[in-house]
């Protein structure tokens, strides 16, 4: 199922989660195609290596050197010519004629029956192609070692020049969401800065007469706005530029003006609240005036009401591009769930990332989980480990869409599929971790 900015999807029945993802992916592809046609060179910038974390690499990073730069030893031991292993002798004896340290290449050469003590990472001396680990040898005297011939083969424990990376070949491919290990890799190649995609500008707002800003007194029926702070944290994890549009009241004029201002500044607008039954008319009306709406109901829990589409370019915007729009539910947990399941991947895709979906794994449930077929559920849970080392998972308690504590205590989602029913204790279930470790 696909969606186009010129062909809005307006549904009265609920949309399958997979179809919702496909519709979002297609629309983002359309926006990227339009951006390519504009040939806007401002999409890329160069940043210092220590500022590149969680940025998207704009072009393939070609290695300026071979890694390793020369054949070297993979471990501490003794380097020698492996031809001596082709003899019929069960035990090999070699005379130690010198030592090779990392960073200090050996200038001499060795003869048959000789070897050199060598340290991990040290350049392999001329005439040497094999290293016997130190722990596999015995010492006959201060200058002679011995080892069993069947303990290794010629060429073992040697790292070849260019084995990891070859000069001129990609070391990191374009579209990579840069991680700490990538920065370390670039530094190991002597690269001090990286070409990355420009940070997306993402506007956020919360709508609702009941919402109060932090520091304001709560009157009857009012609540503090938590959604903008959750969204700010989620967006900061992606290293994006955030435009906070504050709290918008429940009236069409205020909401329309807020959308226009956001569209004039941002690549993406994320609103929370105002999309459930009885409230959606404002958003739907405004979207029909300012752009196209995507869909309104998704067969999931939590997060069923959700709007999606684009806002057309408005006067004063520096770029002629359309603004991607997500209208998320108002419930705090539903905001975070829909962000994780739909918005995060769309932002990464729009920003040029080649990997947008977090990997799934599985764990054993510690207790039964009730579930009705016909919708996808994202239960908040804690991943652990049983006494025998198997991964286990338990829910954080009540799973209501307004219970933000269920997200605060969790480190993963238990994902129960559309057609899946209740699961018993001891069943394996799909889980998605919130955060990566590297």
Query: Is it the case that residue 111 has pLDDT exceeding 60?
Result: yes
Distances (CA, A) of 424 to 85, 301, 330, 388, 392: 59, 19, 32, 20, 13
How confident is the model at residue 285, as a pLDDT? 77
Rounded to 10 degrees, the C-alpha dihedral 211/214/217/223 comes to 30
**Average pLDDT of the residues in 88-113:** 92
Mean pLDDT over residues 431-437, rounded?
78
Name the residue among 183, 270, 196, 274 with its Cα closest to residue 235. 270
Report helix angle 280-290 to 252-265, nearest 10. 50
Query: How do the domains of the chain map onto residue ranges?
Result: 17-48+198-350, 72-159, 361-433
CATH numeric code, 361-433: 2.40.340.10
Q: How far from 330 is each of 70, 247, 270, 275, 415, CA to CA, in Å?
A: 59, 12, 12, 8, 21
Can you give the three-state secondary structure of 19-70, one letter per residue? HHHHHHHHHHHHHHHHHHHHCCHHHEEEEEHHHCCCCEECCCEECCCCECCC
Give mean pLDDT, residues 165-171: 95
- Decide the pairing of beta strands 376-385 and 428-433: unpaired
Residue 55 to residue 47: CA distance in whole angstroms: 9
Confidence check: pLDDT of 6 > 70:
no
Report CA 299 to chain centroid distance, whole Å: 25
- Asked if the model's pLDDT at residue 381 lies above 50, the reply is yes
Per-residue pLDDT tens over the stretch 129-162: 999 999 999 998 889 999 999 989 999 999 999 9
Residue 315 vs residue 219, higher pLDDT: 219
The pLDDT of residue 1 is above 60: no
- For domain 17-48+198-350, give its CATH number from 3.60.150.10, 3.40.980.10, 3.30.450.20, 1.10.3720.10: 3.40.980.10
% of the chain exceeding 90 in pLDDT: 75
Q: Is pLDDT at 14 greater than 50 in this prediction?
A: yes
Query: Picking from 6-10, 182-186, 427-431, which range would have the lowest pLDDT averaged per residue?
Result: 6-10
Identify the pLDDT of residue 43: 87
Compute the distance between CA of residue 374 and CA of residue 417 in angstroms, rounded to an integer: 9
Average pLDDT over residues 312-321: 76
Neighbours of 41 (CB within 10 A): 6
- Structural contact between residues 81 and 129, judged by C-beta atoms closer than 8 angstroms: yes
The answer to which of 27-41, 151-165, 399-413 has the lowest mean pLDDT is 27-41
| Residue spans of beta strands (DSSP E) within 101-208 | 114-118, 130-133, 138-141, 144-148, 158-159, 170-172, 193-197, 201-207
User: Distances from the Cα of 237 to the Cαs of 2, 10, 190, 340, 354, in angstroms?
Assistant: 29, 32, 27, 12, 17
Residue 281 pLDDT: 61
Q: What is the pLDDT of residue 277?
A: 57
The average pLDDT across 174-191 equals 95
In degrees and rounded to multiples of 5, residue 393 shows phi and psi of -145, 140
Measured CA to CA, the distance from residue 57 to residue 352 in angstroms comes to 8
Question: In the prediction, which pLDDT does 142 show?
Answer: 81
Spell out the residues 6+ positions from residue 230 whose beta carbon is closer than 8 angstroms to its own.
332, 335, 336, 339, 404
Span of 116-120, 289-293, 341-345 with lowest mean pLDDT: 289-293
Give me the residue label for tokens 């019929």: 88
Helix (H, G, I), strand (E, B) or coil at 370: coil
Q: What is the mean pLDDT of the chain?
A: 90
Query: Is domain 72-159 in CATH 2.170.190.11, yes or no?
Result: yes
User: Looking at residue 269, what is its pLDDT?
Assistant: 97
pLDDT at 436: 60
Q: Of 272, 319, 310, 316, nearest to 291 (Cα)? A: 310
- Contact (CB, 8 A) for 333 and 407: yes
In the predicted structure, residue 192 carries a pLDDT above the cut 50: yes
pLDDT value of residue 64: 97
pLDDT for the residue 37: 82
Predicted confidence at residue 435, as pLDDT, reads: 72
Phi, psi of 428 (to 5 degrees): -85, 135
> For residues 109 and 429, which has the higher predicted lDDT (pLDDT)?
429
At 169, list the tokens.
């070949």
> What does the pLDDT average to over 365-374?
95
Q: Buried b / exposed e across 47-65, counting CB within 10 Å, b at 16+?
A: eebeebeebbbbeebebee
pLDDT in tens, 253-279: 999 999 999 999 999 999 998 776 565
- pLDDT confidence of residue 30: 93
């Amino acid at each position: 199922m696909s969606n186009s900015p010129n062909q809005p999807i307006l549904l009265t029945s609920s949309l399958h989660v997979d179809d919702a993802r496909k519709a979002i992916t297609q629309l983002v592809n359309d926006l990227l195609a339009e951006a390519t046609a504009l040939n806007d060179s401002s999409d890329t910038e160069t940043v210092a290596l220590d500022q590149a974390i969680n940025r998207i690499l704009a072009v393939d990073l070609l290695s300026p050197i071979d890694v390793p730069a020369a054949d070297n030893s993979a471990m501490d031991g003794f380097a020698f010519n492996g031809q001596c292993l082709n003899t019929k002798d069960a035990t090999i004896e070699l005379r130690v004629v010198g030592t090779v340290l990392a960073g200090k290449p050996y200038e001499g050469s060795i003869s048959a029956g000789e070897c050199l003590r060598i340290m991990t990472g040290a350049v392999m001396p001329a005439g040497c192609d094999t290293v016997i680990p130190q722990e596999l040898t015995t010492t006959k005297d201060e200058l002679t070692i011995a080892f069993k011939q069947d303990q290794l083969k010629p060429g073992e424990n040697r790292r070849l020049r260019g084995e990891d990376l070859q000069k001129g070949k990609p070391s990191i491919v374009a579209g990579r969401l840069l991680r700490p290990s990538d920065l370390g890799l670039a530094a190991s190649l002597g690269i001090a800065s990286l070409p990355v995609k420009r940070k997306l500008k993402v506007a956020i707002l919360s709508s609702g007469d009941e919402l109060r800003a932090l520091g304001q007194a709560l009157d009857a029926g009012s609540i503090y706005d938590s959604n903008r702070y959750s969204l700010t944290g989620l967006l900061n994890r992606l290293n994006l530029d955030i435009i906070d549009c504050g709290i918008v009241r429940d009236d069409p004029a205020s909401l329309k003006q807020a959308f226009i201002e956001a569209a004039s500044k941002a690549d993406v607008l994320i609103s929370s609240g105002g999309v459930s039954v009885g409230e959606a008319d404002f958003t739907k009306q405004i979207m029909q005036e300012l752009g196209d709406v995507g869909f309104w109901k998704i067969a999931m829990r939590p997060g069923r009401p959700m709007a999606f589409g684009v806002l057309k370019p408005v006067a004063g915007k520096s770029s002629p591009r359309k603004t991607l729009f997500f209208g998320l539910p108002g419930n705090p947990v539903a905001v975070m769930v829909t962000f994780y399941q739909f918005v995060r991947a769309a932002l990464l895709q729009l920003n040029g990332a080649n990997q947008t979906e977090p990997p799934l794994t599985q764990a054993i449930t510690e207790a039964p989980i009730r579930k009705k077929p016909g919708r996808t559920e994202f239960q908040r849970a804690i991943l652990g480990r049983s006494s025998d080392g198997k991964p286990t998972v338990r829910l954080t308690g009540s799973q209501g869409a307004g219970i933000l504590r269920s997200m605060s205590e969790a480190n993963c989602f238990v994902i129960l599929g559309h057609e899946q029913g209740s699961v018993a204790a001891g069943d394996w279930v799909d889980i998605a971790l919130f955060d990566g470790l590297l």
